[in-house]
Structure 1
Amino acid sequence: MPPILDAWRHRPTHQRVWAMAVPMILSNLTVPLVALVDSAVAGHLPQTQDLGAVAVGSAIYALPVWSLGFLRMGTTGFAAQASGAGDSAALRTVQAQALLLAAVLGVVVGALMLPLLPWMIGQMHSTPPLAARSLDYLHIRLLGLPAALLNYALAGWFIGAQRARTTLALLLVTNIANIALNLVFVLGLGWGVPGIALASACGEWLGAIYGLWCARRALRGLAGQVDWRAMRGFAHWRPLLMVNRDIFLRTLALEGVFFSLSLLGARLGDATVAANALLLNGLMLTAFGLDGLANAVEALCGHAIGARDRLALRRALVVAGGWSLFGSIGYALLFALAGHGFINLQTSLPEVRETAYRYLPWLSALPVVAVWSYLLDGLFIGATRAREMRDGMLVSVLLFVLLAWFARGWGNHGLWLAFLAFMAMRGLSLGLIGWRLRQRQAWLPESVHAILRP
């Protein structure tokens, strides 16, 4: 029997993949809830500037939170490998390092942003009343930044330790607390925009407190201790910091492509940039499902690498890859057959609708092209090979820039061609790097302990 078919027929791996993927898919669906609730509450306040202030403030607050997402991804791979190696002391150490790094970055980045807030709000070309309300929102909202980053670190550790349900519970506590406090602070006490910001910040802190409590419970069943004396030296921090550095650079490059897509689309007209935004919401919808399977790959492949189990590694990748392919085909068919309805749900403007209809074929092709980058990102995160992810992303960005330049005469079709090629190159570059690592038999290191605890 061929190895791939044999791996696909391994029922326990299917069960493990979905045991990880389902909670993560549900977790992904909760992510837009905070912004949605904040906007819905602000939309019922008496001044139009209130809704605008929440929108502007949320966009600025998202910059550090999104950029520091490496705290989640970097932690997952190390925790998964420690779990697979059965190294409880390393698992404890990964958690301690991730939480300390998140706390420090939360305080430092928040303090650095405070004097920059008036300038950042000014770049939005806001009116004076809107700018003042946005500043009030952000001054309070930034109090929750350390908690938001702690939640990233906690979620990464729980995923790596194969506790996906705890990650889901963590996000549910955060979002339910935010909704309840919005009702109390804004609709009950009438605190307006500051109340919305306070509700979000308190929700993040309540989520972090719950997550820390869950983490402490999880550690009770683990042997070993954190080597606090060794953690005073840079050598003990170097692996985590280097991985996080490379994921951070990769994230900046990815953000640059999406920003360029909006910027170049805006030059093609208001209807075009609006239509592109609606189509990219389809990519976000696709990510809800496929990212959940990628998270399963992170945990299961990282665990297999830690255990030096080549067969388990192949099974996890084949099973998650198969389901990801089926999911991507389902999304492609959804956009091909019901794309007009998807656009119509988002806008009633005839010009924007007609513009979006013309570019629907690109959206229909996107899931099948992008799925491989999601899947292989999960593999490389689980293997803590962030440098290779960074290099693959930089090659993909270079291709995007070149194609966007040479295809500029094709208008928005040229822009979508460049973006589709970018997503394809992400998967192809990681696939080639992964194949070379396999040829060198480098996926399973000689000593996982040397990676986790130098």
Structure 2
Amino acid sequence: MQKTQPLTRASIFAQAWPIMLGQASVPLVGIVDAAVVGRTGDAAALAGVALGATIISMVFWSFGFLRMGMTGLTAQAEGSGDEREVAALLLRSLAIGAAIGFVLVLLQWPIGELAFALLAGGEEVSREAGGYVGARFFGAPAALCVFAINGWLLGLGRTRAALLLQVVMNIANIALDIGFVWGLGMGARGVGLGTAGAEWIALATGLVVATQIAGRSPFAIFRDLGASMVFDRAALARLFAVNRDLMIRTIALLFLFAWFANAGARLGAVTLAANHVLLQFVSVAAFVLDAFAFTAESRIGKAIGANSPQQFRRAIRLAGEFSLLGGVLLSLVFWLGGSAAIHAITTDPETRAIARDFLFFAALIPVLGMPSWLLDGIFIGATAGRALRNAAVISTLSYLALDFALRPHGNWGVWIAFTASYILRAAALGAHLPSLMHRISKRAPLAEAKPAE
């Protein structure tokens, strides 16, 4: 394993820039997905990709704890110098990801039917979305295992390796999408098949990368450590104790995004398509600023593993400086270049017009959302799942109440409520921050990181 770099602004940026490039390419794929379908001029197909992507995100990212929980636990294990536990965590998360993924493949029909019963889209949009969702489920085992590998890499601070994995997946995704949609005319289903294929390519790449970093293959790790350590009951109990709260947190936030998509769908396919175009801006901001949040996860986890309150506080300050600067710059870029980007993504005049009308909100979110993304990183690195869970549930419920209250204002109400949700989440997490800092300062163990009794 590599030696941890000193905690300076230069080391924070050196760790963050590969994540930034890799994360920026994730919404780039979403933009390409939208553009590949959007430039066919078929608003129903574009809306179908929007609705289908919402459903898949809600299902797959319900298990996002495989990424988030792994980052904090791996960083803490490395910070304490326990290399055997670092290796064992990789195998545990891969086994859990593969098992859950294959269950999702088996349950894709009832899950899809339930999702379409809950989300409004209209017959034509739902048909397009159904093709996308059905194709994406075949990539579920690979997608969840990639979550696990990414979490492990980020926990180790191996951000360049994580970048390589992300770039391979995104290039494969873009190439396959273009081939299936423009080459074979498969529409929304083609986008789903392209993404599923890219996830399997990414898994193969990730296993090679993990083998190089660990110095041996996952099979060799299992042989060396033995089943008794890899599947140790106390270690698994700790893993599930952390991940249980992270799963609830993730489901709450995914429900918030699904509700936002459904709110647009209630106003028609064109409004749904326009909101989906603007959501790509929000995704770019979230993924770019997550570079500093992910760096905070790793640095804070290592500070806790090394039992260093000073490093804990310094990690928060340095990551916060970069996050604030990044949020301001992104807001300016979106405001000045947003109209041109909208025209590049879709050719439909009505979709363009509605997206331009609400561009202000997409440009505002990088600044307003920055504190919530940074706080996520702080609490994930500390494996403080209870605080993350409570904040997500409270902010989601508050958002729903606000959305209902603002329904008479149409899409303006939809965007006001969605923008306010970032402020609500930051406030809810911020309320837990003094308690977390007090416990770290006193070098007290985090209750959330203990095995369940």
Same-fold status (TM-score > 0.5) = yes
CA contact (8 A) 1:82 1:452 kept: no
Distance 2:297 2:328 in 1: 22
The amino acid of 2:248's aligned partner reads L
Distance 2:283 2:196 in 1: 25
CA deviation after TM superposition for structure 1 residue 313, in Å: 1.7
CA deviation after TM superposition for structure 1 residue 25, in Å: 1.4
Distance 1:15 1:305 in 2: 21
CA deviation after TM superposition for structure 1 residue 166, in Å: 0.8
CA contact (8 A) 1:265 1:276 kept: yes
Match of 2:419 in 1: 420
Partner residue of 1:153 out of 137, 140, 148: 148
* 1:223-302 matches, cutoff 5 A: 226=225, 228-232=227-231, 234-267=233-266, 273-302=272-301
* 1:32-431 matches, cutoff 5 A: 32=27, 61-114=56-109, 117=112, 126=123, 141-178=136-173, 200-220=195-215, 226=225, 228-232=227-231, 234-267=233-266, 273-346=272-345, 355-356=354-355, 358-431=357-430
CA deviation after TM superposition for structure 1 residue 326, in Å: 1.0
The amino acid of 2:249's aligned partner reads R
CA deviation after TM superposition for structure 1 residue 299, in Å: 1.1
| Structure-2 change in CA distance of 1:367 and 1:61 (3 Å) | closer
| Structure-2 change in CA distance of 1:443 and 1:268 (3 Å) | farther
CA deviation after TM superposition for structure 1 residue 60, in Å: 5.0
Distance 1:254 1:379 in 2: 17
CA deviation after TM superposition for structure 1 residue 331, in Å: 2.2
The amino acid of 2:396's aligned partner reads V
The amino acid of 2:87's aligned partner reads R
Residue identity over aligned pairs, in percent, reads: 36
| Structure-2 change in CA distance of 1:407 and 1:443 (3 Å) | farther
CA deviation after TM superposition for structure 1 residue 59, in Å: 5.8
Distance 2:171 2:250 in 1: 29
CA deviation after TM superposition for structure 1 residue 343, in Å: 4.6
Normalising by structure 2, we get a TM-score of: 0.80
Gaps of 5+ in 1: 1-9
Distance 2:397 2:371 in 1: 19
Q: Deviations over 1:289-341 (max 9, x none)?
A: 21111111111111111111222222221111111111111223334445554
Distance 1:339 1:52 in 2: 20
Normalising by structure 1, we get a TM-score of: 0.80
Gaps of 5+ in 2: none
CA contact (8 A) 1:106 1:147 kept: yes
The 3-state SS of whatever aligns with 1:431 is helix
Q: Deviations over 1:275-294 (max 9, x none)?
A: 54444333222123211111
CA contact (8 A) 1:383 1:443 kept: no
Distance 2:335 2:320 in 1: 22
| Structure-2 change in CA distance of 1:114 and 1:233 (3 Å) | farther
Q: Deviations over 1:368-393 (max 9, x none)?
A: 21100000100111111111101011
CA deviation after TM superposition for structure 1 residue 408, in Å: 4.3
* 1:7-22 matches, cutoff 5 A: 13-22=8-17
Report the more deviating stretch, 328-337 or 287-296.
328-337
Count of residue correspondences: 440
Q: Deviations over 1:367-423 (max 9, x none)?
A: 221100000100111111111101011121232233334444555444433333321
| Structure-2 change in CA distance of 1:336 and 1:138 (3 Å) | closer
Report the more deviating stretch, 392-401 or 58-67.
58-67
| Structure-2 change in CA distance of 1:342 and 1:444 (3 Å) | farther
| Structure-2 change in CA distance of 1:70 and 1:203 (3 Å) | same
| Structure-2 change in CA distance of 1:431 and 1:191 (3 Å) | closer
| Structure-2 change in CA distance of 1:58 and 1:318 (3 Å) | closer
The amino acid of 2:142's aligned partner reads A
Report the more deviating stretch, 371-380 or 410-419.
410-419
Distance 1:48 1:352 in 2: 8
CA contact (8 A) 1:78 1:452 kept: no
Q: Deviations over 1:150-201 (max 9, x none)?
A: 111000000001111111111223334455667888999x796898766644
| Structure-2 change in CA distance of 1:443 and 1:336 (3 Å) | farther
CA contact (8 A) 1:399 1:421 kept: no
The 3-state SS of whatever aligns with 1:31 is helix
